[in-house]
Every structure is written in C-alpha cells, then in structure tokens.
Amino acid sequence: MRRKIDEQLAWWKGSPRRTPLVRQRKIRNAKDGSKIAGQLLEQVKLDPQLLNAKTRNLSGGQIQRVAIARALSCRPKLILLDEPVSALDVLVQEKVIDLLNTLKRQLQLTYVFVSHDIGVIQNIADRIAVIHQGRIVELGPTGQVLTNPSSKYTRQLIDSIPGKRNETL
C-alpha cells in the first residue's frame, strides 16, 4: 500500500471515501482524526509517530497491529480474524496473540479466530469449533476439545502435530 497509516486509520486527504473511524466516530477534520488514530496506535502498542509512515516501511507485526487498530476504530464487540499471525515469525506471533488477549479482556471483545495452527488456537481461544468439509464436527471448550476430542477428525488433527503424536496436549 502506498498510503500513510493516518490515511488508512483516520482521514484520507482528498478522497470522498471515508474510513471506519470517520464514519463511526463522526470525525469532522484531519486533526481530530489523526489524534484518535494516534490513540489507536498506542492501544495496539505502536508509536503514534508511525502515523506518517507508509505501510511498505513497516514490519509484518506492525502491519498486523495497524490492521487491529483499524478494526478497533469502529468500537466493535466482535472481530473476525482470518489467519492473523500465520505469516509472522513465532516471536512476533506471541506478541500479537498477547496483544489480542489483552484487548479481549480490556474491551470485552469476542473474536472469531480462523487458524490452522493448533498452538496458536490454544493461546487465544476459549472455545473451538473444528470444521471439516464445511461442517462443524466438534465444538466445545478449548481444553476439552484438545485433550478429549469426540470427533475422529479432531483426533487426527491433534495426532498430526509434530511431537504430539499419540499424546494429549
């Protein structure tokens, strides 16, 4: 993307298109939008000075945090996250998952978190739905589903984790 972070979050100068922040919070000018956008960046543990940065100059973890800030801009109760950490290295994944868990507690958010990584799921989900061929084959509390799966497919998924074969998590 060529746009600066403040243009993605707050106010896209010269464009009739308005961001979620402008629509939801009824921001009337760029100064107010940039102020709130800076607060959103702080909320996701980014320096507000990044408002003037272009996305192409950010790391993968920073880009994910900007995406989270954008999602938070309209004050949601539910956020859909589709493989939000799959392209990140393990250390950055951990930081983003910690941030998501903190935001979940602080803002009382609900996530629909799509992932193929059971390790990531263990660290974010209270409940799991296992989907196979477009159908939910198992649904329940994370610990129960991962330690005592009732579905053959779920058992196969767990058994396919390197180092976890024939063990419980």
Helix (H, G, I), strand (E, B) or coil at 39: helix
What values do phi and psi take at 156, rounded to 5? Answer: -65, -40
Overall residue count recorded for the chain in this entry: 169
Q: What's this model's pTM, rounded to 2 decimal places?
A: 0.83
CB 93 within 8 A of CB 59: no
* Start-to-end Cα distance in the chain: 40
Write down the pLDDT at residue 20.
Answer: 62
Write down the pLDDT at residue 16.
Answer: 46
CA distance 115 to 58: 23
Helix (H, G, I), strand (E, B) or coil at 98: helix
CB 109 within 8 A of CB 99: no
Write down the pLDDT at residue 32.
Answer: 76
Question: Per-residue pLDDT for the chain (169 aa), expressed as one digit of tens each?
Answer: 567 787 777 654 555 456 666 666 666 666 777 788 899 999 999 999 998 899 899 999 999 999 999 899 888 999 999 999 999 999 999 999 999 999 999 999 999 999 999 989 999 999 999 999 999 999 999 999 999 999 999 999 998 887 764 555 5
Alpha helices in the chain (DSSP H): 5-9, 20-25, 30-43, 60-72, 90-107, 118-124, 142-147, 152-159
Q: CB-based contacts of 93: which residues, under 8 Å, 6+ apart?
A: 85, 120
Domain boundaries, the chain: 1-75
Write down the pLDDT at residue 125.
Answer: 96
CA distance 107 to 103: 6
